[in-house]
C-alpha cells in the first residue's frame, strides 16, 4: 500500500482497493489498477517500463507473500514439524492422521506418506485401537476406530469403555452381549467388520458376516433379560446358588454362544475383501487389486511406479530429460480421474507408488471406456518431470486393460492342493466345474500336491486348458484357499497364444 501511495499517488483508500483487487485476483480489475498505477507513476517521473515491472512484482507477491513477522512464524512451525517428523516419525504421522481423520481424502494421502517413510499402518482392531491413530513401537501406527466410515464417536467410546472395564472381546457374540446395541447397531458392526476391525473375533470376515445376525439376536436377548432383572433362558446372566447350578449355567452359555457362532465359511475373495476396506477406510489397507498381477507387470512393464517417483528430478532447472521424454510402460489401478481443461489426469497406483498420467483429449476419447476409476490398466507414454507440480508425470499414448492383457499373456496356472482336507471328492468335483466353465483357452493347468507321504505335480491334458481370467483365479482361490493359485506369463515380446478350438487343438 505504501508503494502505491509513494510511487503512484494513491490515497489510503485507493491503495486499499488495490490490495483487495490483488487479493481477489480479478483480471479485469487488475488491468484497471495497472493503468491507474502506471499513469500515477508517470506523473512522478517514473518510466512506464519501470512502473510496469514494479506492478508485476507487487502482483506476484500478492499471490502468496508474507511480511517478515508472518514469515518468521511460519519458519518456526516448519522447523518444529520437520524436527518431529525426522526424529519421531511414527508419533508425528499418527498425530497428523488423527488431526485429519474426518477427511478421508487427506487420510489416504497421509497413509501413502507413511508407506514412503517405511512406517507400517496396521488395520483397526476393536481390542487394541483407540478413537485416534496411535503408535505401536517405533515404526508402526495403529489405525484409529474413529476413522472408519459409518462409526461415530459414541460407538467407539462405548466399545473402549467396555473393553477397559471388562477386558478384550473374545468373539463376535461376546462383543454383541457386552455392548449397547442401541449405540452400536448393525450398520456400525458391518462397517467395523468390513474394515477389518473385528478380524480378531473370528476365523475370517465372511464367517463373521454370516454369524452377525445370530450374535446380535443373542446380545439383544441378553440386554432385555438384564433390564428385566432376570437371567435369560441360556443362563448368560449371573446365576446365584450352588456350584452345580453354576456348572449348568456355564454349559448353557457355551451352547448358546456356539449357536451364535455357527459354521466357518470360506473367506471372501480378495476383490470383495478389499472393496469392503475401500468402502469403510477410503483405501486398500491389507492388499492391493494390482497385487495378483505383479508377475505380469514384472514382465510387461518397464518400471514399477515406486522406482520412477523416487528418481531425482533433473538438475539445472531442465524441464525434461531424454529428449522429448523417457519412454516407459507402467500398470496399476486408476485411483482417480480428473479433467483439467482439455486434458485428463489419471492417478495410477501399482502398490509401490502413485503417479499422474496425463491424457490429451484425443487419446482419452480413444480409451475412455478403459481409463475409468478403479480400472486396472497398462499405460505406455513419455515420462517427464513437471516443475509446476514438482513431480514426475507420464504423458500417455496408449492405455490397455490389464486384466485382458493378463488373460492373453497367461501360459499356465499352478494350483496348490490343500492338505488335510476330508472332502477330497467334493473338492475335485468343484474344481472340475470351475475349470470346465473357462475352457477352451491357452493355459495349461498344473496341480501341485505336497503331503506327509507324497509330493509332486500333475499336469492336466490339453482338453483342460483354460482362459486365465480374473474370475477363474478368484473362484479357484475361494475353493483352494488364498495364495493357492499362481499364474505364469509369456516372456516379454512373446505373442499371445490364440484361443484354442472346442476340441482343444
- pLDDT tens-digit map of 46-59: 999 999 999 888 88
| Rounded CA separation 478/466 (Å) | 18
Q: Tell me the Ramachandran region of residue 118: left when phi exceeds 0, alpha when psi lies from -120 to 50, beta otherwise.
A: left
How far, in Å, CA of 489 to CA of 504, rounded? 20
CATH number belonging to domain 101-261: 1.10.150
DSSP calls for 117-149: TT-EEEPP-TTT--SS-EEETTTEEEPPGGGST
CATH of domain 291-402: 2.40.50.140
- Give strand ranges (E) for 297-426: 326-340, 343-349, 354-360, 376-386, 391-401, 410-416
Q: What share of the chain is helix, strand, coil (3-state, %, to 5)?
A: 50, 15, 35
Q: Which three three-digit cell numbers place residue 322?
A: 531424454
Mark out the alpha helices in 382-469 (DSSP H runs).
Answer: 402-409, 424-436
Q: What is the pTM of this model?
A: 0.71
> Pick from 136, 189, 183: which is nearest to 158 by CA?
183
Tens digits of pLDDT across the chain (505 residues): 788 888 888 888 888 888 788 777 777 788 888 889 999 999 989 999 999 999 888 887 776 666 778 888 889 999 999 999 999 999 999 999 999 998 877 888 898 889 889 999 999 999 999 999 999 988 999 999 999 999 999 999 999 999 999 999 999 999 999 999 988 999 999 999 999 999 999 999 999 999 999 999 988 887 777 666 655 444 444 433 434 444 444 455 555 555 566 788 888 888 899 999 999 998 888 889 998 899 899 999 999 998 888 777 765 544 444 456 889 999 999 988 999 889 999 999 998 888 999 999 999 999 999 999 999 999 999 999 887 777 889 999 999 999 999 998 999 999 998 877 777 888 889 999 999 999 998 999 999 988 777 888 999 999 999 999 988 988 888 888 878 899 998 876 554 444 333 333 3
3-state secondary structure of 476: helix
Determine if residue 504 is left, alpha or beta; phi over 0 gives left, psi from -120 to 50 gives alpha, anything else beta.
left
Q: Give 155-204 pLDDT, tens digit per residue.
A: 999 999 999 999 999 999 999 999 999 889 999 999 999 999 999 999 99
Amino acid at each position: 500500500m505504501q508503494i502505491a501511495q509513494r510511487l503512484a499517488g494513491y490515497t489510503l483508500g485507493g491503495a486499499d482497493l488495490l490490495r483487495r483487487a490483488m487479493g481477489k485476483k480479478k483480471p479485469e480489475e487488475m488491468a484497471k489498477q495497472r493503468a491507474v498505477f502506471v499513469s500515477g507513476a508517470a506523473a512522478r517521473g517514473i518510466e512506464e517500463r519501470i512502473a510496469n515491472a514494479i506492478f508485476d512484482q507487487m502482483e506476484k507477491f500478492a499471490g502468496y507473500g508474507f511480511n517478515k513477522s508472518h514469515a518468521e512464524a511460519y519458519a518456526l512451525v516448519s522447523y518444529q514439524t520437520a524436527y518431529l517428523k525426522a526424529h519421531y516419525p511414527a508419533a508425528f504421522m499418527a498425530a497428523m492422521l488423527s488431526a485429519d481423520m474426518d477427511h478421508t481424502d487427506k487420510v489416504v494421502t497421509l497413509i501413502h506418506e507413511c508407506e514412503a517413510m517405511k512406517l507400517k499402518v496396521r488395520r483397526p482392531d476393536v481390542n487394541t485401537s483407540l478413537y485416534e491413530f496411535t503408535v505401536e513401537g517405533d515404526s508402526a501406527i495403529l489405525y484409529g476406530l474413529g476413522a472408519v466410515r459409518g462409526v461415530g464417536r459414541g460407538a467407539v467410546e462405548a466399545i473402549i469403555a467396555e473393553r477397559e472395564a471388562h477386558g478384550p472381546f473374545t468373539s463376535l457374540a461376546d462383543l454383541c452381549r457386552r455392548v449397547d446395541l442401541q449405540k452400536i447397531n448393525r450398520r456400525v458392526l458391518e462397517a467395523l467388520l468390513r474394515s477389518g476391525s473385528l478380524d480378531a473375533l473370528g476365523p475370517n470376515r465372511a464367517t463373521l458376516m454370516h454369524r452377525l445376525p445370530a450374535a446380535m439376536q443373542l446380545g439383544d436377548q441378553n440386554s432385555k433379560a438384564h433390564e428385566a432383572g432376570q437371567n435369560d433362558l441360556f443362563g448368560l446372566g449371573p446365576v446365584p446358588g450352588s456350584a452345580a447350578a453354576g456348572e449348568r449355567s456355564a454349559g448353557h452359555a457355551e451352547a448358546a454362544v456356539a449357536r451364535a457362532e455357527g459354521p466357518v465359511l470360506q473367506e471372501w475373495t480378495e476383490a470383495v475383501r478389499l472393496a469392503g476396506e475401500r468402502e469403510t477406510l477410503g483405501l486398500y489397507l491389507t492388499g492391493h487389486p494390482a497385487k495378483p498381477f505383479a508377475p505380469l507387470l514384472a514382465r510387461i512393464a518397464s518400471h514399477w511406479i515406486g522406482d520412477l517417483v523416487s528418481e531425482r528430478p533433473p538438475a539445472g532447472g531442465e524441464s525434461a530429460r531424454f529428449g522429448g521424454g523417457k519412454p516407459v510402460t507402467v500398470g496399476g489401478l486408476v485411483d482417480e480421474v480428473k479433467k483439467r481443461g482439455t486434458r485428463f489426469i489419471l492417478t495410477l497406483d501399482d502398490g509401490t507408488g502413485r503417479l499422474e498420467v496425463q491424457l490429451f483429449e484425443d487419446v482419452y476419447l480413444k480409451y475412455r471406456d478403459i481409463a475409468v476409476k478403479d480400472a486396472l490398466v497398462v499405460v505406455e507414454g513419455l515420462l517427464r518431470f513437471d516443475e509446476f507440480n514438482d513431480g514426475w508425470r507420464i504423458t500417455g499414448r496408449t492405455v490397455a486393460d490389464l486384466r485382458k492383457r493378463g488373460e492373453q499373456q497367461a501360459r499356465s496356472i499352478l494350483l496348490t492342493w490343500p492338505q488335510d482336507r476330508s472332502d477330497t471328492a467334493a473338492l475335485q468335483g468343484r474344481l472340475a466345474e470351475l475349470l470346465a466353465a473357462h475352457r477352451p483357452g491357452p493355459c495349461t493347468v498344473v496341480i501341485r500336491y505336497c503331503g506327509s507321504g507324497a509330493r509332486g505335480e500333475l499336469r492336466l491334458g490339453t482338453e483342460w486348458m483354460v482362459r486365465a481370467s480374473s474370475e477363474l483365479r478368484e473362484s479357484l482361490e475361494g475353493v483352494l484357499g488364498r495364495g493357492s493359485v499362481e499364474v505364469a506369463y509369456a516372456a516379454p515380446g512373446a505373442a499371445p497364444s490364440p484361443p484354442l478350438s472346442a476340441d482343444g487343438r
